[in-house]
A and B are shown apart, each in its own frame.
Chain A
Amino acid sequence: MSRLSFRPRPLDIHKKLPIVKSVKDFEDDDTPTTSATRSSQLLRLSAADSDFNVGNNIEVAPTPAKKLASEIPTPQFVVVDTYERDYSRTFAQPTSYLRGRGARAELGEFVEYDLDNEDEDWLQQFNREKKTLSPDRFENLLFKFEVLDHKARERAGVITPTFGAQVPVLLQLDAAAEALQAQGIKHVVFQSAYSYWKEKRERWQKPILRRLQPPPPVNDTNPYNVFRPREKAHRLHTRRMQRRENNVQSFEKLRQVRRNLEQAKVILEALIKREERKRDAMETEVSLQRLQMKYKHETELVEDSFDVPGGFPAFSNKFGSSEEEFMDSDDVANFRPRPTSTPRASAAAQNFRDSGHPVVVPAGVPKQEFRRRFIPNTNRWLHKMDPLEPLLLFTKPLIPEKLAAAHIVPPSRVPGAKSSGGAAVEFHGRIGRGGRIIFDRWNPLSHSPINFGNSYHLPPKPQASMYN
């Protein structure tokens, strides 16, 4: 058994293949094929023993047809008595092959229009009293109306290549009467025929002669509209075809592409600028933080200079004003206005009034970075900050209610712990690295216990007073 035949191998169509006629070459005696394909295997299994049913699928089809044969209605026919007259044996086949007539491009003498049921009924009605108009002449009239109207529209330049709105009727009664004088039809009759035609046209909204009906537009989605025009070359999605186009349409498209690209360029340039500014902002922020850290460590050295009472009001004013100042300027500069700015300022002022201490700018939340930058730059004023308190630049202070809600109990005071002033050590809660809640009793930076009471830490929330 040739297992190799299971694996499909590409077949070169240009290579000559040997035609093997002898059965001896095959592995199995009577069956001409080995299991070359799974399908043949299945067929063999399902087929009858002797009759090899490779053509199984072909033979299956007629069988159901045979079963259905009794259900298919057989066509009936009736021999018409006028058959011989209608289809007279007058066709003489020439010995040479028949040639087709030239394309009847122009609307010529041949009356292309045929009366339909509607027309015939109307004519019958019209002729009820007296046989005034024969069907042939009526047909002729309608045809001529169509032709004349078409010519009038051509002259007026309103021929549309595809069917858009309704096709207007331009032929007037007088013009028609004039043109068709030679017909020798009584004017009254003529008038009735004309008004019938006009009414029909208005009802149909398009010519009643098929050849004059414009095709539906290419983009028409109505499934009942048929025979849309196609461009000269059958439009397929091949790159080849697109290359051949060189008309106004493709020019407009290219123009549009160019406009789009230019706009994209402008946007991208603005984007680059914005990102550069962002980077600069970030860098200055980082250096600010570094400065603050530096100042924080150096505060103890310059603390003394602040103990001048007189200096406070000035400072406070300065502070207040600077607060206002940078609030205003910040409101302009900030992309996101700080909702807490006002409570902060008022809290700061309040605290100031209450405690009489210089108010420090609180350790801010990250969003407040822009605000803080203005204080040292504009005032050269070092905030009084508790050197003992770890300055944690980017954390929010803990909110007691939330702690309670989460069932977190701050560790109770440890009596008897060492402290510089003999006061009980309180735990200072903060959010540490990774969002963990940490209660410090040891200032990691200054290596001394935390004494919360002296802290001038002013959290951004108005509940700041709680800590004091």
Chain B
Amino acid sequence: MKRKEQLQRHMRKCDLKHPPGDEIYRSGTLSMFEVDGKKNKVYGQNLCYLAKLFLDHKTLYYDVDLFLFYILCECDDRGCHMVGYFSKEKHSEESYNLACILTLPPYQRKGYGKFLIAFSYELSKKEGKVGTPERPLSDLGLLSYKGYWTRVLLDILKKHKGNISIKELSDMTAIKADDILNTLQSLDLIQYRKGQHVICADPKVLDRHLKAAGRGGLEVDVSKLIWTPYREQG
């Protein structure tokens, strides 16, 4: 819509006040909508066009049919307003649980991006699969994910009693084992002593890392997630 009249005319016709698709999460004023690229093609395409304005490395090579879009909205009495989204392949060979992620510029630095990352892992947990973001990661993406992985893993290590395997950490968090290893190794928390690997979890050290990783974003209340994993319709 390049002119105001066009938008107004459209709004007279169209009474949709939220993204097309099902609401799958609502907590407080935050809502998540799941939009199928096949069912709402024009919406999906327009969303990709919009995202391309802010994500330089994004490709629009292929159609949106094979993607799901998870739109994060702030809701009030005027409607549900999109603040960010992430896209996800319906079927991923490399167990990607996130393709593109964007917080719209006016709403950045408020914790929505971290929320979106956390949400993508909650979906993976519900699916019973491990997940990882699509490669290659952008610089900012890598930073955000490293922060997320650090917070999640170190929180567990702080509280955990006894021994733990990387696989167990992966099962708990839906984070891929490679990502866990990379994170712990880059923080120097994996060492080799007395003939075996150990995880160093000195609370002081962990706190230092956690501080460096930054605050968590808005939290995902899993109890408010009402969702079944995507299934192809006949």
Interface residues of A (CB under 8 A from B): 2, 4-5, 9, 11-23, 25-26, 32-34, 36-37, 39-40, 52, 54-55, 58-59, 61, 75, 82, 86-93, 97-101, 103, 110-111, 114-117, 120, 135-136, 139, 210-211, 215, 226-230, 233-234, 236, 238
Most buried by A among B8, B177, B205: B205
Smallest CB-CB A-B distances: 10 pairs: A55-B212, A103-B39, A13-B166, A16-B163, A226-B60, A97-B23, A100-B21, A98-B23, A89-B77, A33-B188
Q: Report if B11 contacts A (CB, 8 A).
A: yes
- Contact indicator A9/B205 (Cβ below 8 Å): no
Quick one: which of A12, A17, A87 has the most chain B CB within 10 A? A17
Query: A87 touches which one: B35, B41, B79, B213 (CB < 8 A)?
Result: B79
Name which residue of chain A comes closest to B160, CB basis.
A19
Segment from B114-122, B191-199, B215-223 that makes contact with A: B191-199
Q: Indicate whether A11 sits within 8 Å of B190 (C-beta atoms), given known contacts A16-B164, A116-B2, A233-B91.
A: yes
Query: Which one of A55, A101, A110, A234 has the highest number of Cβ atoms from chain B below 10 Å of its Cβ?
Result: A55
* 18 CB-based A-B contacts, threshold 8 Å: A9-B197, A13-B166, A17-B166, A17-B197, A19-B157, A34-B191, A54-B187, A54-B209, A55-B209, A55-B212, A58-B146, A86-B8, A91-B79, A97-B226, A98-B31, A99-B23, A100-B35, A227-B60
Q: Assuming the A-B contacts A5-B193, A13-B167, A21-B203, are A103 and B198 also in contact, with contact meaning beta carbons closer than 8 angstroms in the complex?
A: no
Q: B232's closest neighbor in chain A, by CB?
A: A232
Q: Are B9 and A114 in contact (CB under 8 A)?
A: yes
As a 0/1 sequence over residues 3 to 43 of chain B, the CB contacts with chain A under 8 angstroms (1 = contact) are 10111111101100110111110100001010110111110
- Asked whether B163 lies within 8 Å of A18 as measured between CB atoms, the reply is yes
Question: What CA separation (Å) do A36 and B200 show in the bound complex?
Answer: 12
A40 to B188, CA, bound (A): 7
B residues near A14, Cβ cutoff 8 Å: 165-167
**8 Å CB contact of B197 from A11, A89, A110, A115:** A11
Partner of A18, one of B7, B146, B198, B213: B198
Given A20-B199, A100-B35, A227-B60, check contact A9 B6 (CB 8 Å): no
B76 to chain A, nearest CB (A): 8
Assembly CA distance A100 to B44 (angstroms): 14
CB distance from A35 to the nearest CB of B (A): 9
Set of chain A residues within 8 Å of B181, measured between Cβ atoms: 11, 13
State the CA gap A116–B7 with chains docked (Å).
10
Q: Which residues of B contact A39 (CB under 8 A)?
A: 186
Identify the interface centre among A16, A26, A98, A135: most chain B CB within 10 Å of its CB. Answer: A98
**Does the CB pair A230–B63 fall under 8 Å?**
yes
| Interface band, chain B | 35 or more
Q: Are A100 and B9 in contact (CB under 8 A)?
A: no
- The smallest C-beta distance from A245 to any residue of chain B, in angstroms, reads 16
User: Is the pair A117, B202 in contact by a Cβ cutoff of 8 Å?
Assistant: no
Interface residues of B (CB under 8 A from A): 1-3, 5-11, 13-14, 17-18, 20-24, 26, 31, 33, 35-36, 38-42, 45, 48, 60-66, 75-80, 89, 91-93, 105-106, 139, 143, 146-147, 157, 160, 162-168, 170, 177, 181, 185-188, 190-193, 196-205, 208-209, 211-214, 226
Q: CA of A89 to CA of B170 in the docked complex: distance in angstroms?
A: 45
Chain B residue nearest in CB terms to A135: B9
Establish whether residues B13 and A111, one from each chain, have CB atoms under 8 Å apart when the complex forms.
yes
Interface of chain B, main secondary structure: mixed
Q: Determine chain A's interface SS by DSSP, over half rule.
A: loop
Q: Which residues of B sit under 8 angstroms from A233, Cβ to Cβ? A: 91
Residues of chain A lying within 8 A (CB to CB) of residue B78: 87-91
Query: From residue A105, how far is it (CB to closest CB) to chain B in Å?
Result: 9
Cα of A88 to Cα of B76 in the assembled complex, Å: 11
Closest to B22 in A: A100
- The total of interchain contacts (Cβ-Cβ below 8 angstroms) comes to 205
Alpha-carbon gap, A122 to B205, bound state (A): 69
A25 partner residues in chain B, CB cutoff 8 A = 193
Task: Determine the distance from Cα of A315 to Cα of B48 in the docked complex, in whole angstroms.
Answer: 97
Point out the residues of chain B lying under 8 angstroms from A87, CB to CB.
Answer: 78-79
Is B62 a contact partner of A230 (Cβ separation < 8 A)? yes
A97 touches B24 (CB 8 A): yes
Q: Distance in Å from the Cβ of A54 to the closest Cβ of chain B?
A: 6
Query: What separation, in Å, do the CA atoms of A26 and B35 have in the docked complex?
Result: 52
Chain A residues near B91 (CB, 8 Å)?
A: 233-234
Return the chain B residue nearest A139 by Cβ: B9
Q: Contacts A17-B163, A20-B198, A32-B205 hold; do A58 and B39 have CB atoms under 8 A apart?
A: no
**Considering the chains assembled together, what is the distance between the CA atoms of A111 and B13 in angstroms?**
8
Contact A120 B3 (CB under 8 A): yes
Closest to B45 in A: A227
**A93 close to B75 (CB less than 8 A):** yes
A2 to B80, CA, bound (A): 58
> A114 to chain B: which residues have CB within 8 Å?
1, 6, 9-10
12 new A-B contacts, CB < 8 A, other than A116-B2, A117-B3, are A17-B166, A20-B199, A25-B193, A34-B191, A55-B213, A58-B147, A58-B214, A91-B76, A92-B77, A99-B23, A115-B9, A230-B66
With A87-B79, A89-B77 known to touch, is A2 a contact of B192 (CB < 8 Å)?
yes
CB pair A211–B42 under 8 Å, yes or no, is yes
Partner of B93, one of A52, A54, A111, A238: A238
Residue of B nearest to A77 (CB): B106
**Docked complex Cα distance between A441 and B197 (Å):** 88
- Cα distance A24–B61 in the bound complex, in angstroms: 56
Alpha-carbon distance A465/B10, docked complex (angstroms): 107
B204 → chain A, closest Cβ, in Å? 8
- Taking the nearest CB of chain A, how far is it from the CB of B220, in angstroms? 16
> What residues on B are CB-neighbors of A55 within 8 Å?
208-209, 211-213
Question: A150 to nearest B CB, angstroms?
Answer: 15
Distance to closest chain A CB from B210 (angstroms): 9
Q: Which residues on the A side are within 8 Å of B191 (C-beta)?
A: 5, 33-34, 36
Chain A hits for B208, CB < 8 A? 52, 54-55
Contact B93 A210 (CB under 8 A): no
Bound form: Cα–Cα A215–B63 in Å? 8
Shortest beta-carbon distance from B92 to chain A in Å = 7
Task: Look across to chain B and name the residue whose beta carbon is closest to the beta carbon of A85.
Answer: B8
In the complex the two chains form, what is the Cα distance from A110 to B79 in whole Å? 21
Which residues on the A side are within 8 Å of B21 (C-beta)?
100
